[in-house]
Amino acid sequence: MIKKILKLGVILILILVIFVFYLSYFGIETKRFNQLIKDEISKSNKGIDIELNKVKIILNLKKLSVGLKTHDPKIIFKDKKIKLKKIKTNFSIESFLNKDFAVENLFISTEENTISNIISLARLYENNLQMLIFDKLIKDGSLNADINLNFDEKGKIKNNYKIKGSVTNTKLNLINNQIIRNISFDFEIEEKLHKYNNAKIEFEELKLSSNSIKIINNNNYFLLEGDIKNSNTFISPELLFLLFKTNIKDLGISDLYLSSNSTFYFKSSGPLQDILKFDKKFKFTETKIKSNINLNKSKYKLDSLILKNFFNTYNGFVELENHIIDLELNKKGFSIKGKGKFIIDKKSDKIDYNVSFNNGNYNFKSAIQLKKNPLKLEILNYEKSEDDNSILNIEGTYNKNKSTNFKNILFEESKNKFLIKNLNLSNNFKIKDVGHLELDFINENKKLSKITLKKNKTNYEINAKTLDGSTLLDKMLKNDNKNGISNYLYNFSSVLKINIDQLYTDNAFYLNNFIGNMKFEKNNILDLNLEGNFNNNKKLTFIIKRSKNDEKITTIFSEYAKPLAKKYTFIKGFDDGVLDFYSIKKNNTSKSQLRIYDFKLKEVPVLTTILTLASLQGIADLLTGEGIRFNEFEMNFNNKGTLMTIDEIYAIGPAISILMSGYIESEKLVSLRGTLVPATTLNKVIGSLPLIGNILVGKKTGEGVFGVSFKIKGPPKDLKTTVNPIKTLTPRFITRTLEKFKNQ
């Protein structure tokens, strides 16, 4: 009997061993434990239920646990379902017998499920701010994942979880109602490390992709690094405003097409949770961005006086085309290296540039190849024509106070050279200081100019062999006006010493040994004393002084008036003459007198019109033939802003005398009226002055007129002239004529 019992026991043990062995290595499939599994899962969250097919059970003797595995289950919660491929878990036998939470781990492999359902399930376990934000922002899209979870004895997920999978066709609704579409990526998530691979995203017209993005969330710092690129895309102003909070329409940028390939690295002083909590202490301690940008096309509207002054064809737009740009950005600043084409009025040239930003200052260096675009330097009367090869090198700094320091400017075209060093400009691009200037060029008048400017402490010296100063002299004569030399200066106070061997006043006339000094104080000429000799050995002096009453007194005396009179385009054929100019200016108002003696005119269109209308054809013929000689011309006038008020212009000569007055509003309106008297009539009047009655009415009824009155009025380019015959001269005309006769 005992043997039978022992035999039965051995058989039972053997069966048990075999069963345990089978259960340990092969397992069994059954539905008997489905309810038990459901109950255990519901212990962790009562809102979760699960649909199970057959469950395969495998015993783990070493860990005293039971492994469960099932295929195609469904997780049910809040009337939602999540489809799974597989679930694997281990039950602790000891915990189960002690009625503790028995699930040690859980592996879930999902089918594709909607992301909103996945987030809802995740919030049942960890309903934090991060999950709430995800739930509000993410719409549509699918997710599949493999999830490895480990639980503690209380049923909480341990920090060593691992999740990987992919997201496809997701839509993200931003707070400002903008939508990010077609989000797709692969992911691997651990507690402190998130990896996102093969990412794609669309925002407005922008299509972005990334090979890898990595997030490390440490207790002491948060790190984000990866790469991102986009194909050639039109970047709308609205998109850039959303990204950078800058309206590029206000900056003048339009038609922006570009592609890019970038890497980035951000490291914070605190963990990711500080961002999600909007912690004010959060900041990036390290920032690195490297980007390779292909700027295929961009159009920039720039209302720049500099470009308008230098490029005659500038139409307010600069277009960029096919630029290859390397961008590097870090916490301290950024650098940009690029090259490509720029287009002004359909004329294309090349540019290389290097710009860096640090401590609020922009350092720049560029090489500009100018061929198609003509370039004009008006003040030097120089122009580079289209198709002339040239190179412009610029190096300098744009400071945070908005001033600009040019360390070096070099322009070379054929044998022409312009070199400027240490040029400092104000925020409105006016000259504050310059260290060195060297010019060697042939200008539009085919005149060679060789000039150097050197700084000596606070003062300057200009030395030149030859210089075409026709335009420069005009600017000096217009000092303090909007078109004068002061328009180029900023709070300039210094002494300028001038020594020019040969200075051309125009294409035909020049001064020898033009020397002197100019003293500037706060941008204005305080003192000027220049002199030189014309090529016929006649002298010119140009003097400006300041009185004790802060009046600017200007004196110009030229023994040869023709070179200066030629600058007035309405006079042609001016010859001979001595010029004497005197002006007093204070508080932007000037009172001036211009006198010219013993000169001859051959062509003055307005005067020709008056003579013709007055039927004085003989004198008109003189004007267009040999010319009309004048003994003296005197003009007394006042200037205030753009308005010139002419108190009196009086000219007297052997053939004709003129008296007129009026006003001229610069580039807008001319209004003059006056009296013109032939010399024969005037001599009769002067000769018969004692017989006042006869002068006024004539000795005989119907005796000839004394002269004509005239009016000139209209825009400068469309003057209208009217003429009326007169019998009686005004007392003013007679008085002025008598004064001139007495002085002879």
Specify the higher pLDDT residue, 518 or 300: 518
Closest CA to 485 of 472, 498, 503, 504: 472
CA angle (385, 388, 393) in 5-degree steps: 105
Alpha helices in 175-311 (DSSP H): 237-244, 248-251, 272-276, 305-310
Is the model's pLDDT at 699 over the cut of 50? no
**8 A C-beta contact, residue 504 and residue 495:** no
> By the 8 A CB rule, do 579 and 599 touch?
no
- Per-residue pLDDT at 707 exceeds 90: no
Q: Which one of 145, 179, 213 terminates a domain?
A: 179
Of the three residues 152, 179, 206, the one that is the final residue of a domain is 179
Distances (CA, A) of 636 to 574, 632, 659, 731: 20, 13, 12, 19
- Count the helix, strand and coil residues of the chain and give each as a percent rounded to the nearest 5: 20, 55, 25
Burial 84-109 (b: 16+ CB within 10 A, else e): beebbbbbbbebbeeeebbbbbbebb
Q: Which domain holds residue 166?
A: 23-179
Q: Is the pLDDT of residue 421 over 90?
A: yes
The more confident residue out of 535 and 33 is: 535
Does 142 reside within a domain? yes
pLDDT per residue over 450-488, tens digit each? Answer: 999 999 888 999 999 988 887 776 665 554 455 556 677
Q: Which residues are CB-contacts of 231 (< 8 A; sequence separation ≥ 6)? A: 207, 259
pLDDT of residue 695: 39
Query: What does the pLDDT read at residue 440?
Result: 93
The more confidently predicted of residues 197 and 721 is: 197
Q: Is the pLDDT of residue 588 over 50?
A: yes
In a domain, 425, yes or no: no
Is the pLDDT confidence value at 112 over 80? yes
**Tens-place pLDDT, residues 522-574:** 877 889 999 999 988 899 999 999 888 888 899 999 999 888 877 665 566 67
Quote the CA–CA distance of 239 and 359 in Å, as a whole number: 29
Q: Considering only 351-355, 432-436, 656-660, 701-705, which range has the smallest mean pLDDT?
A: 701-705
DSSP strand pairing (494-504 vs 459-468): parallel
Give the Cα separation of 516 and 510 in Å (integer): 16
Both structure tokens of 637:
């006038």
What are the tens digits of pLDDT across the range 288-320?
888 898 989 888 776 666 677 778 777 778 889
Residues near 108 by beta carbon (within 8 Å), at least 6 away in sequence: 84, 86, 87, 145, 146, 147, 149
Please give the pLDDT value at position 741.
56
Find the mean pLDDT for residues 20-45: 65
Residue 303 lies in a domain: no
- Answer whether residue 697 shows pLDDT above 50: no
Band (pLDDT 50/70/90 cuts) for residue 499 is: very high
Q: Which residue has the higher pLDDT, 326 or 77?
A: 326
pLDDT of residue 23: 55
Which pLDDT does position 584 carry in this prediction? 93
* Residue 38, domain member (yes or no): yes
- In this structure, which amino acid lies at residue 685? V
Alpha-carbon span 439 to 291, nearest angstrom:
40
Checking if the pLDDT of 633 tops 80, the result is yes
What proportion of the chain, given as a percentage, has pLDDT over 70?
75
In this predicted structure, what is the pLDDT of residue 693?
36
Is 161 inside any structural domain? yes
Split at pLDDT 50, 70, 90, the class of 702 is very low
Q: Which of 179, 207, 231 is the last residue before a domain boundary?
A: 179
How confident is the model over 39-49, as a mean pLDDT?
69
Render pLDDT for 138-179 as a digit per residue (tens, 0 to 9): 878 888 989 898 888 777 888 888 999 999 988 888 766 778
Q: How many CA atoms lie within 13 A of 589 on its CB side?
A: 3
Per-residue confidence band for 698, with pLDDT thresholds at 50, 70 and 90: very low
* Whole-number Å distance between alpha carbons of 116 and 141: 8
DSSP 619-677: HHHHHHTT-EEEEEEEEEEEEETTEEEEEEEEEE-SSEEEEEEEEEETTTEEEEEEEEE
Q: Comparing 658 with 686, which gets the higher pLDDT?
A: 658
Nearest to 493 by CA among 456, 525, 461, 454: 525
Cβ atoms 143, 112 nearer than 8 A: yes
In a domain, 215, yes or no: no
Q: What is the tens place of the pLDDT at every residue in 92-102?
A: 766 666 667 76
- In which band, very low, low, confident or very high, does the pLDDT at 730 lie, cut at 50, 70 and 90? low
Residue type, 548: K
Identify the pLDDT of residue 701.
34
* Average pLDDT score over residue span 442-446: 86
User: Residue 405: what pLDDT?
Assistant: 93
Band (134; pLDDT cuts 50, 70, 90):
confident
Q: Residue 392 pLDDT more than 60?
A: yes
**Residue 725 · residue 675 · CB < 8 Å:** no
Does residue 516 fall inside a structural domain?
A: no
User: Is residue 634 assigned to a domain?
Assistant: yes
Average pLDDT over residues 13-42: 63
Mean pLDDT (the chain, rounded): 79
**Structural domain tally of the chain?**
2
Evaluate whether 701 touches 676 at the Cβ level (below 8 Å): no
Report how far residue 685's alpha carbon sits from residue 452's, in angstroms, rounded to the nearest whole number: 60
In angstroms, the first-to-last Cα distance of the chain is: 172
pLDDT of residue 434: 92
pLDDT value for 242: 56
Q: Can you tell me the distance from the alpha carbon of 318 to that of 253, in angstroms, rounded to the nearest whole number?
A: 10
